[in-house]
Amino acid sequence: MNNLAPFPIARPRRLRLNATIRRMIRETILTPADFIYPLFVRHGREIQQPVGSMPGIYQWSVDRLPAEAESIARLGIPAVILFGIPTRKDALGSENYDSNGIVPQAIRAIKAAVPDLIVISDMCFCEYTDHGHCGLVNPSPGDPRHVATLPQGYLLNDPTLELLGRASVVHAEAGADVIAPSGMIDGMVSAIRKALDEAGFEHVAILSYAAKYASALYGPFREAAESPPAFGDRSQYQMDPANAREALKECALDVMEGADILMVKPALPYLDVIRAVRERFDLPIAAYQVSGEYSMIKAAAANGWLDERRVALEALTAIKRAGADLILTYFAKDAARWLQAEL
């Protein structure tokens, strides 16, 4: 940048004089169309159950979803992502590939009520398995499924791929527009793409959680999705928060496997990663402002320490400025209202 006149000729404050001129030269424009709203769905009727650690967020029964979906669409938010809470968990996460499971039911209900609302199905097994990990794990040595060459509790990568493909087809049959694999299982995108294509769902897109970090910011989500691991943690498959170059490798692999959209998760502590992925790849980039990011702002605002609206919009703007085209955020509904009020 070498075409600047010196002070006092140059006075950048001229273009910050009032709100109108500031809007005229704004470089990053946040709109409701940028947002994807997460929904937690569970069995039952007439349920709108608050999530204690996430004020304003609820678990919904399927019969309450049409009204909620209509309110989301009215705000100009184009998409939702679904997380299911099963009635029964087992070692195989079998409700995830049950056509009458909670997420397929939810997909059908939403698409019937608001056909144009894009429905994204989070594709992972941690909510459905009794051990809380994101796929099949190596059982104890006495179990006939035990693999002697692997540690007990190790996530069995390749057997999990078959289940991911099977569940993705079931969700596509229910009407999902996008499948979003989130388990950081090696080969997950290619396995899902192959299964979808062979079942005639070549039009269903894949939004890959390509760079998902083993973050401490997922705590409130685990209450909302009822999915804490029964032992250990997820560091054996999610990424080390210290690594940035590894994120580019993960994204490159997912691009080669057929991902349509790449995601970085969490968002605000990883703006450098979002920027690096944006600069390296031409695919649409999504970022997930996760539960901990949401809850920290909510808690500080509840104590009067921060202005919730200003901080939330500032954080979302930073995520978009870093290069995200799409933002998964629990603030989506509030942010949409705030943005509309500013027009």
Measure the CA–CA gap between 170 and 103, rounded to whole angstroms.
10
pLDDT-derived band at 29, boundaries 50, 70, 90: very high
pLDDT at 144 over 90: no
Angle between helices 188-198 and 245-257 (to 10 degrees): 20
pLDDT at 228 over 80: no
pLDDT of residue 241: 97
Show which residues are catalytic. 212, 265
Write down the H helix ranges in the chain. Answer: 19-24, 65-74, 102-113, 157-174, 188-198, 219-225, 245-257, 271-280, 291-302, 308-322, 332-342
Measure the CA–CA gap between 82 and 297, rounded to whole angstroms.
23
State the DSSP code for 154. Answer: -
State the DSSP code for 178. Answer: E
pLDDT of residue 143: 86
The backbone region for 175, taken as left when phi is positive above 0, alpha when psi lies in -120 to 50, beta otherwise, is left
Among 233, 204, 236, 202, smallest CA distance to 219 is for: 233
* Residues counted in the chain: 343
Among 119, 135, 27, smallest CA distance to 80 is for: 119
pLDDT of residue 231: 78
pLDDT of residue 1: 65
Among 254, 272, 175, smallest CA distance to 209 is for: 254
Neighbouring residues of 255: CB distance < 8 A, sequence distance ≥ 6: 262, 281, 283
Measure the CA–CA gap between 145 and 137, rounded to whole angstroms.
10
- Retrieve residue 211's tokens: 């760079």
For the chain, the straight-line distance linking the first and the last C-alpha, in angstroms and rounded, comes to: 33
Amino acid at the residue 307? D
pLDDT of residue 156: 92
Measure the CA–CA gap between 184 and 119, rounded to whole angstroms.
21
User: Which pLDDT tens digit goes with each residue over 89-129?
Assistant: 999 999 999 999 999 999 999 999 999 999 999 999 889 99
Parallel, antiparallel or unpaired: strands 48-50 and 58-61 = antiparallel
What's the whole-number mean pLDDT along residues 315-324? 98
3-state secondary structure (DSSP) of residue 213: strand
Burial of 153 (0-12, 13-18, 19+ CB in 10 A): middle
Lowest mean pLDDT among 27-31, 139-143, 160-164, 328-332: 139-143
Among 223, 224, 243, 226, smallest CA distance to 235 is for: 243
pLDDT at 232 over 80: no
Distance of CA 222 to the CA centre of its chain: 13
What's the whole-number mean pLDDT along residues 14-38? 97
